Amino acid sequence: MKDILNISAYRFVALDDPDQWRGAILAQANAAGLRGTVLLAHEGINLFLAGNAQAVRGFLGWLAAQAPFAGIEAKESWSADVPFGRLLVKVKREIIRMNQPTVRPEQARAPAVGARTLARWLDRGSDDTGRPIVMLDTRNAFEVEHGRFRDGVHWDLQRFSDFPAALAERAAELQGKTVVSYCTGGIRCEKAALWMAEQGMDRVWQLDGGILKYFEDTGGTHFDGSCFVFDERTALGPTLAPVETM
């Protein structure tokens, strides 16, 4: 019976004192019996947590009631067991490391395309203006091996901080197209879309909610394989259930 609720969520928001939030979040998550990882930085929060469904939703409700995190939305999936060994709440320089201080997603969000709209674009092979689409994978190479959007582009990244250099070398292949950056849950593709816009590219979108939200809303059409996740489940299929991996 799959009665363990897993959530992933992030929110780019300016936090003056991430260390202060660390203590409060650790206390709440511990009290709820949750396990997983929460990352905090001056640019916001990123979390992956699992536990009893009522406890998870109670924690998320408490978090959303805190002013900086109001409106935070979580992607949900279910498992038979908690796929994390312990609870970690850490303060980092960035909640997703890019090493580009001019990229400030807590100040302005990149344009986002929803899963159902993207599926419609992929069905027709172009966006609503008739412009061809490129699905640009911003994940690491080992993640791409588990699954990817059909005919999408990936640059064999070893780490996300390699993305700016890869774009500088290969931006020409994206010219004249609508570029949709995508990743697991939305956080990397949001920063990637902002960086591309900063480099002067037009018609750049992020996939809102990443692959996990796309699976939830569309059943995974146009996506081949599974989505790697950073916990003991390893990879999720289009139904958001764990899949067997080699």
pLDDT tens for 59-106 read: 999 999 999 999 999 999 999 999 999 999 999 999 999 999 999 999
Is residue 21 one of the residues assigned to a domain? yes
- What is the domain range of residue 161? 112-236
* CA atoms of 9 and 212, how far apart (whole Å): 11
Residue 150 inside a domain? The answer is: yes
- CATH number, domain at 70? 3.30.70.100
Residue-wise pLDDT tens digits, 159-172: 999 999 999 999 99
Asked if residue 29 belongs to a domain, the reply is yes
Specify the number of domains making up the chain.
2
CA distance 55 to 242: 22
Answer yes or no: is 98 within a domain. Answer: no
- Quote the mean pLDDT of the chain: 96
Active site residues: 183
* Claim to verify: residue 202 and residue 144 sit in the same structural domain: yes
Q: How many CA atoms lie within 13 A of 206 on its CB side?
A: 25
Is residue 96 domain-resident? Answer: no
Q: Could you tell me if 132 and 27 lie in one domain?
A: no
* Same-domain status, 79 and 129: no
Whether the pTM exceeds 0.75: the reply is yes
CB-CB neighbours of 142 under 10 Å: 11
Which CATH number is 189's domain given?
Answer: 3.40.250.10
Residue 241 lies in a domain: no
Strand partners, 88: 37
Whether residues 82 and 116 fall in one domain: no
- For residue 105, being part of any structural domain is answered with no
Residue 245 lies in a domain: no
pLDDT in tens, 107-166: 999 999 999 999 999 999 999 999 999 999 999 999 999 999 999 999 999 999 999 999
Q: What is the DSSP string of 17-71?
A: -HHHHHHHHHHHHHHTT-EEEEEEETTEEEEEEEEEHHHHHHHHHHHHTSGGGTT
Q: Are residues 191 and 80 in the same domain?
A: no
**Based on the domain organization, do 36 and 135 belong to the same domain?**
no
Whether residues 49 and 164 fall in one domain: no
